[in-house]
Structure 1
Amino acid sequence: MSIPQPVPVSWKDFGKAANDLLGRDYYFQGSSLEVKTKTPSNVAFKVAGSRDAKSDAIAADLEAKWTDKKHGLTVTQAWTTSNILRNLVEVEDQIAKGVKFDLSTSLSPEKGTKTAVLNAALKQPGFHTRASLDVFRGPTFTADAVVGRDNLFLGAEAAYNVTEGNVSRYATAIGYLSHDYSITVHALNNLNTYHASYHQRISDSTEAGAKAVYDTKATHGGVALEVGAKTVLDQSSYLKAKINNTGVLALAYSQALRPGVRATFGLAVDTQKLNDVSPSGPAHKVGVHFVFDS
């Protein structure tokens, strides 16, 4: 009797472990704040704001999210300081188990621009597929699918421009994902850009990863490399570090100050320009991010 296969990761989550390790928590572009609250009526509010260290520009948004777990319904609405209204309506596991539909829209009253994207997803053992229709851009129909067996996964994506009648984008990927480590290889942008990533959980408190990107159409040529690691210092703090092939070293330290309050500090140093000691200069950058979650 064969063992039932788990549901594979979605196309967008291929290489997620390495991407999160190398991309998240590195706040060195300025200061940012995130406040989360939840009401007894099951409405979650989130206020997020940031100030760019170089331009001093401030951007923020207010988001409200209501969830009805019994009926698989989630409604999210957001309003940004750039006067953009965003809405997301999600319905999951109502038509059939593993089927999800969502409609994402945005409106800019000042510019008169709007977007609407209808998405559908199907998750079954060994198979995960998604499809989306961008109503106002093209319209463009995009579909992706991932099949998996025994930790080996294969995926592909394609976008079709309905108006022009041609395939505007296609990509493929292969990966091996286990509890301890994962390896993924992407061929993106009509097979012109190649991404390879590796992630390993060395122990319960330490993980490491690397990523390589090669663009066949890039004028400078060569491969962009980045390696990083994360270690959990104790129950309330962790430290991350990464460095790329251009010599930029990035550090992130996250500390829980009290229950529901966390601060994350980021630093980026260009090791080829160590004489530039100004933290706000072009070579070195610092930043901080605070989260209040009640």
Structure 2
Amino acid sequence: SAAASLAGKTGSRPPSFSSTMPPAKFADLGKAAADLLSKDFGVGKNTVELKTKAPDSVTFTTNGSHKFGGAADASVQAECKPYGGLLVKGKIDTAGVTTTTVEADGHLAKGLKLICTAGTPPLDKSGLLASASGGFEYAGPMVTALGSYDYLKGAATCSAVTAYACSSGGVGLNYDVAKGALKGYTAKLAYTMPTYSVTGTCNADGKGKLDYACSLFHVVGPDMSVAAEVGIADSKTRLAAVASWAIDKEATAKAKLDSCSMLGLSYKRKLSKSTTLTVAGCFDLNLDASKTKTGIALALAP
């Protein structure tokens, strides 16, 4: 149903949903509109994604991309769950960067996840580690909170969201521990109903610049969804609107227009049970050929 679809995209909880459902994560406030506005519009490169699962339940995800006029790059990620509540991920890319993540969910307390991540620098740079961070995620009936600290960079981030009935609100902070300075903050307020959601955002970069935005996501019908966003920053206004149509059970078409006179079009079709193809294009309505870009994305999950 449309209500279930919207709830799944926002992580929010309309009145008809259980009040014991945790509030959405801070990054998921307004996610339905953000995803509709951004996903399936990858241009300027061709990408391929291959997901496979080994008999021992290890999942491998291989991504490759080639930018037009540029070099190709790729990455391989392995993911496994040795036992209940423990998740281990390892990733390596063509730049030589390796990243390892370990997540322990529910071992210390119900709803609490502990996360440790470490990454190496590219091959052309020296050093054993480029990042080493620890963090947590907590999801309870009244609040969802996240926090992390990078020991090498001295950067800390945290966010918290609470909800009441149809409304959710939260704040996220970025703090430079080494300099003892707030690098920026973001506040969000969302209102969600079964077929639509509205999200307001205020973002500060720590240098006195503010960015205000408001987004709307609306399930018009079983086969159509629309989203729009308006923002104001540095006395300049930006606007973007998108519509998505389910042509049939296997195909979806999207069209997006923004205040920069850029028209985005995409067509996504499920070629088989394990293969999905997306073709996208971005066109300048002012007829500037240099801004016209296309892209193809192929996803395989045998």
Alignment TM-score > 0.5, same fold: yes
Name which of 274, 298, 302 aligns with 1:290: 298
Equivalent position amino acid for 2:125 in 1: K
Q: Deviations over 1:94-139 (max 9, x none)?
A: 21111011112210243125111211011011211111112111x1
**Does residue 73 of structure 1 match 2:86?**
yes
**Does residue 144 of structure 1 match 2:152?**
no
Task: Report the CA distance between 1:165 and its aligned residue.
Answer: 2.1
**Does residue 224 of structure 1 match 2:232?**
no
Q: Which runs of 4+ in 1 moved over 4 A?
A: none
- 81-90 or 104-113: bigger deviation: 104-113
Q: Deviations over 1:50-108 (max 9, x none)?
A: 1111x33111101111124x521111111101111111111111211110111122102
SS at match of 1:160: strand
**Does residue 91 of structure 1 match 2:98?**
no
Q: CA–CA distance in 2 between the matches of 1:144 and 1:64?
A: 28
SS at match of 1:202: strand
Task: Report the CA distance between 1:161 and its aligned residue.
Answer: 2.3
Q: Deviations over 1:133-169 (max 9, x none)?
A: 12111x1222211010101011012233222223222
Name which of 201, 204, 215 aligns with 2:233: 215
**Does residue 196 of structure 1 match 2:214?**
yes
**Alignment correspondent of 2:183:** 168
Q: CA–CA distance in 2 between the matches of 1:57 and 1:77?
A: 24
- 117-126 or 16-25: bigger deviation: 117-126
SS at match of 1:122: strand
Task: Report the CA distance between 1:255 and its aligned residue.
Answer: 0.8
SS at match of 1:282: helix
**Alignment correspondent of 1:129:** 145
Equivalent position amino acid for 1:201 in 2: V
**Does residue 104 of structure 1 match 2:117?**
yes
Equivalent position amino acid for 2:101 in 1: L
Would the aligned equivalents of 1:5 and 1:150 in 2 still touch at CA under 8 Å?
no
Unaligned segments of structure 2, at least 5 residues:
1-17
Name which of 13, 30, 53 aligns with 2:28: 13
Identity, % of aligned pairs? Answer: 24
Name which of 50, 72, 79 aligns with 1:58: 72
Would the aligned equivalents of 1:76 and 1:89 in 2 still touch at CA under 8 Å?
yes
Unaligned segments of structure 1, at least 5 residues:
none
Equivalent position amino acid for 2:229 in 1: K
Q: CA–CA distance in 2 between the matches of 1:285 and 1:110?
A: 31
Supply the RMSD in Å over aligned alpha carbons. 1.6
Equivalent position amino acid for 1:272 in 2: N
Would the aligned equivalents of 1:155 and 1:172 in 2 still touch at CA under 8 Å?
yes
How many residue pairs get aligned? The number is 279
Task: Report the CA distance between 1:170 and its aligned residue.
Answer: 2.0
Q: CA–CA distance in 1 between the matches of 2:176 and 2:46?
A: 40
Q: Deviations over 1:253-273 (max 9, x none)?
A: 011111101110001111111
Task: Report the CA distance between 1:283 and its aligned residue.
Answer: 2.7
**Alignment correspondent of 2:95:** 82
